[in-house]
Amino acid sequence: MNLAAILGLLFSIAIGTYSILESTKNPKLFLNGHAIIIVLGGTFTVGLLSFPFARLFAAFKIVVRKVFGREKLDYLGVIKQIVEISIAYRNDPKSVMGLLSPKTHPFLTDGIKLIVDYGFNAQEIDAILENSVAGKKKRDREEVKVWHTLSRFPPAFGLLGATLGMISLLETLGEPGSQDRIGPAMATALVATFYGLMAANLIFIPIAERLAEVSSNDIILRNIIKRGIILVAEKKHPSYIDEYLNSFLPPGARANSGQGPENVTSKGPLKA
């Protein structure tokens, strides 16, 4: 589970609860079904008008997997495996598939198959993998777009709820005792605005930003894998591959140099 996302959700609930309890003597005022239906129901309805149902449903499922799921990507583990593969490929190309496992990143597995099973050269592999990465970027952008689009609607529907409340208030201003109802009526009208702003800024926008961050990190990993597979196909020296792939990472996240990649596997001496 993503601890940061869980804490963020809990803090969002805490902030909303604290805001309600400290802002009024009557917290029940915020239990306004009219405001909740207008903001959340209106947002969901416009979402259905903007996107196909399947895409909207998929967007909600993705949140569970990408926002609240495990967030750590093992860049160093992938680089180490690519170096091991490069050593095996220089010694005995047929042994490479034995280094792959169910835990291996699917993109790395597919790329190695392009070398071992299909025998494509480096230029052909580059074209195929580049197209795959571009496709992944596009799919991720579409996922983020759904949530960025949805985030624009709650404040607007909150304003709509407030407008309806003000219309109801102004309609009764001429009636006896209407001056005593102005305060409570205005407070009720603004509850919808409160829900709209809370939903947009504590739920929808953070989810969109989180999905964009997850996508960015995943694309970095896929580019590392892509370049690594091409270098393996070109039979570059494992030390060069190790240093080159580590250069994708910030200095503090790189593997410690000092031991050659020959030591990461027991496949025998490295062929020149």
Q: Write the single-letter amino acid at 95.
A: S
Q: Whole-angstrom distance between the N-terminal and C-terminal Cα of the chain?
A: 44
Q: How much is the pLDDT for 73? A: 83
Give pLDDT tens digits for 20-34.
Answer: 888 778 888 888 888
Q: How much is the pLDDT for 70? A: 66
The angle, 0 to 180 degrees and rounded to 10, between the axes of the packed helices 106-116 and 75-91 is 10
pLDDT, the chain, mean:
85
Residue 233 in tokens: 């196909």
- DSSP for 189-225 reads HHHHHHHHHHHIIIIIHHHHHHHHHHHHHHHHHHHHH
Residues 228 and 82: their CA atoms lie apart, in Å, by 6
At CA 38, angle to CA 205 and CA 29, rounded to 5? 95
Percent of the chain whose pLDDT exceeds 70: 90
Backbone φ/ψ region at 177: left (φ over 0), alpha (ψ -120 to 50), beta: left
Flag whether pLDDT at 81 surpasses 50.
Answer: yes
Overall average pLDDT of the 65-74 stretch: 76
Backbone φ/ψ region at 188: left (φ over 0), alpha (ψ -120 to 50), beta: alpha
Residues 11 and 19: their CA atoms lie apart, in Å, by 12
Give pLDDT tens digits for 155-173.
Answer: 999 999 888 888 877 777 7
Give pLDDT tens digits for 188-242.
Answer: 778 889 999 999 998 899 999 999 999 999 999 999 999 999 999 999 999 999 9
Backbone angles phi, psi at 131, to 5 degrees: -65, -35
Overall average pLDDT of the 50-69 stretch: 85
Backbone angles phi, psi at 253, to 5 degrees: -100, 0
Each domain of the chain, given as residue ranges in start order, spans 3-71+151-212, 75-139+218-264
pTM of the prediction? 0.81
Q: How much is the pLDDT for 180? A: 67
**Is 263 exposed, middle or buried (CB count within 10 Å of its CB: 0-12, 13-18, 19+)?**
exposed
Q: How much is the pLDDT for 189? A: 78
186 or 40: which leads in pLDDT: 40
Residues 68 and 60: their CA atoms lie apart, in Å, by 12
